[in-house]
Amino acid sequence: MIPAPYLLYLGHSTDAVGIKTSRGLAVFRRDACVGEFRYDDCPFTLDLPRMSMAEGAAAGARTLVLGIANSGGKMGDDLIADAVAALEVGMNVAAGLHQRLRDVPQLALLAEQRGLQLFDVRDPPADLVVGNGYARAGHRLLTVGTDCSVGKMYTTLALTTALRARGVAADFRATGQTGILIAGGGVPVDAVVADFISGAIEQLAPARNDDGWDLIEGQGSLFHPSFAGVSTGLLHGAQAEAIVMCHDPMRTDMRGIPGRALPGIEECLAMNLQVARLTSPAVRAVGVCLNTSAMTPEAARAQCDDTAAQLGLPCTDPMRFGVESVIDRLLA
Q: pLDDT (tens digit, 9 = 90+) per residue, 160-182? A: 999 999 999 999 999 998 999 99
What is the spatial distance between Cα 66 and Cα 174, in angstroms, rounded to a whole number? Answer: 18
pLDDT for residue 71: 65
**Burial class for 229, CB neighbours closer than 10 Å (0-12, 13-18, 19+):** middle
- Cβ atoms within 10 Å, residue 132: 11
For 86-136, what is each residue's pLDDT tens digit?
A: 999 999 999 988 889 999 999 999 999 999 999 999 888 888 999 999 999
CATH pick for 6-120 out of 3.40.50.620, 3.40.50.720, 3.40.50.300, 2.60.40.420: 3.40.50.720
d(CA 105, CA 91): 17
The model's pTM is 0.91
- The boundaries of every CATH 3.40.50.300 domain in the chain are 139-331
Percentage of the chain beyond pLDDT 70 is 99
What is the rounded distance in angstroms from the CA atom of residue 248 to the CA atom of residue 146? Answer: 8
For 266, residues 6+ apart whose C-beta sits below 8 A from its C-beta are 310, 311
In one letter, which amino acid is 75? M
Fold classified for 139-331: Rossmann fold (3.40.50)
Question: Does residue 73 have a pLDDT over 80?
Answer: no
- How confident is the model over 257-286, as pLDDT tens digits? 999 999 999 999 999 999 999 999 999 999
Burial class of residue 19 (count of CB atoms within 10 Å of its CB; 0-12, 13-18, 19+): buried
Q: Round the average pLDDT of the chain to a whole number and report it.
A: 95
CATH 3.40.50.720 residue spans of the chain = 6-120
